[in-house]
Amino acid sequence: MSETKHNWTKEEILDIYNTPLMELLYKAATIHRKSHNPNVVQVSTLLSIKTGGCSEDCGYCPQAARYHTAVEGNDLMSVQQVKAQALRAKSTGSSRVCMGAAWRNVKDGEEFDQVLEMVRTINKLDMEVCCTLGMITENQAQRLAEAGLYAYNHNLDSSEEYYKEVISTRGYQDRLDTIDNVRKTNVTVCSGGIIGMGENIEDRAGMLVALSTLNPQPESTPINALVAVEGTPLEDQKPVSIWDMIRMVATTRIVMPETQVRLSAGRTQMTREGQAMCFFAGANSIFAGDKLLTTPNPDVNEDMKMFELLGLNPQKPFTKKVQPQTVEAPESQFEALGEKPKWTRPDHKIERNEVAKEKAKTLK
| Nearer residue to ligand SF4 within complex by CB, 134 or 193 | 134
3-state secondary structure (DSSP) of residue 274 = helix
Residue 277 CA to residue 341 CA, distance in Å, equals 43
If the CB atoms of residues 138 and 157 are measured against ligand SF4, the closer one turns out to be: 157
**Measured between alpha carbons, how far is residue 31 from residues 38, 52, 146, 313 in Å?**
10, 40, 34, 20
**Member of 31, 47, 49, 61 binding ligand SF4 (CB under 6 A):** 61
The SS3 assignment for 193 reads strand
The helix or strand, by DSSP H or E, that contains position 303, with its residue range, turns out to be helix 300-310
CA–CA gap between residue 237 and residue 240 (Å, rounded): 9
Q: Which is nearer to ligand SF4, 157 or 303 (CB)?
A: 157
**Interface with ligand SF4 (CB under 6 A), residue from 14, 31, 58, 98:** 58
Give strand pairing partners of 153.
190
Choices 59-67, 70-78, 176-184, 279-287 (CB under 6 A): range interacting with ligand SF4: 59-67
Q: By CB under 6 A, which span of 50-58, 70-78, 200-208, 341-349 interacts with ligand SF4?
A: 50-58
Q: Does 102 bind ligand SF4 (CB under 6 A)?
A: yes
Residues 57, 227: Cα–Cα separation, whole Å: 16
CA dihedral sign, ordered 132, 134, 139, 140: negative
List C-alpha distances in Å: 180 to 141, 205, 343: 10, 21, 14
Phi, psi of 132 (to 5 degrees): -135, 100
Told to judge if 58 belongs to the known catalytic residues of this protein, a careful annotator would answer yes
Residue whose CB is less far from ligand SF4, 159 or 315: 159
- 131 a catalytic residue: no
Nearer to ligand SF4, 41 or 58 (CB): 58
- If residue 195 lies in a helix (H) or strand (E), which one and from where to where? strand 193-195
Catalytic-residue membership of 98: yes
List binders of ligand SF4 among 181-220 (CB under 6 A): none
**Beta carbon of residue 115, minimum distance to ligand SF4 (angstroms, whole number):** 15
Among the residues of 65-129, which ranges form H helices? 79-91, 110-123
CB nearer to ligand SF4: pick between 102 and 190: 102
The CB density around residue 9, as the number of other CB atoms within 10 Å, is 11
In the bound state with ligand SF4, the residue whose beta carbon lies nearer, of 56 and 219, is 56
Closest CB 284 distance from ligand SF4, rounded Å: 25
Catalytic residue among 183, 253, 262, 267: 262
Return the CA Rg of the chain. 19
Nearest distance in Å: CB 298, ligand SF4: 22
Residue 172: which H helix or E strand, with range? helix 172-183
Identify the active-site residue in 96, 98, 170, 175.
98
The correct pick among 19, 44, 48, 63 for binding ligand SF4 (CB under 6 A) is: 63
Active site annotation includes 278: no
Q: How many residues bind ligand SF4 (CB under 6 A)?
A: 8
Q: Name the minimum Å distance from CB 53 to ligand SF4.
A: 9
Position 64 contacts ligand SF4 (CB under 6 A):
yes
- In whole angstroms, the minimum distance from the beta carbon of 58 to ligand SF4 comes to 3
Is 69 one of the binding residues for ligand SF4 (CB under 6 A)?
no
Residues 6+ apart with CB under 8 A from 250: 16, 24, 25, 27, 28, 281, 282
Give the alpha-carbon dihedral of 303, 305, 308, 311, to 10 degrees: -40
Catalytic residues: 54, 58, 61, 98, 130, 190, 262
The binding site for ligand SF4 (CB under 6 A) comprises 54, 56, 58, 61, 63-64, 102, 134
